[in-house]
Amino acid sequence: MAIESLKPTSILAFVIFATWSCAPFITTFILSLTHKNIIGIGVAVYLSLLIGAVLFFDVKYWHPDPQGGIAVLMLPIVFFGIIIGSINLIKVKNT
C-alpha cells in the first residue's frame, strides 16, 4: 500500500493518511449519488484513476527518492483538482 512508504508510527497516523488518500474517491462516490452531471463524474473518475496511477508509479517505481512519501501524500490534491475541473468542464460543454 502507498501509505506504507510514509512509515506512519501509530495506528492513528495510518488512519489519517489512509483517509486522506481515499478522500477524492469517497467524494467522487458521493457526487455520483447526488450530482446530476453523471458524465462529468464519470470523466472525473477515469481521469483520476489514470493520472493517479501514472503519478503513483512515477513516484514509487520510476523515480524513487526519499521525498516519495510526501509526493504520495499530495496526490489527493491533484485528484481534487481533476475532479473539480472535469465536472465543471463537462457541465459547461453540456449547457
Q: What is the SS3 assignment for 51? A: helix
pLDDT band at 7 (very low <50, low <70, confident <90, very high): low
- pLDDT higher than 80, residue 37: no
Query: What is residue 95's predicted lDDT score, i.e. its pLDDT?
Result: 52
73, 20 contact by CB (below 8 A): yes
How distant, in Å, are the alpha carbons of 32, 50, 74, 84, 87 from that of 36? 8, 23, 29, 14, 10
H-type alpha helices, 58-67: none
pTM over 0.75? The answer is no
Residue 36: DSSP 8-state:
S
User: 52-86 pLDDT, tens per residue?
Assistant: 888 888 888 888 877 877 888 888 898 888 888 88
- pLDDT for residue 88: 80
- pLDDT tens digits, residue range 9-33? 788 888 888 898 889 888 888 888 8
Please report which helix (H) or strand (E) contains residue 74, including its range: helix 68-94
pLDDT at 92 over 70: no
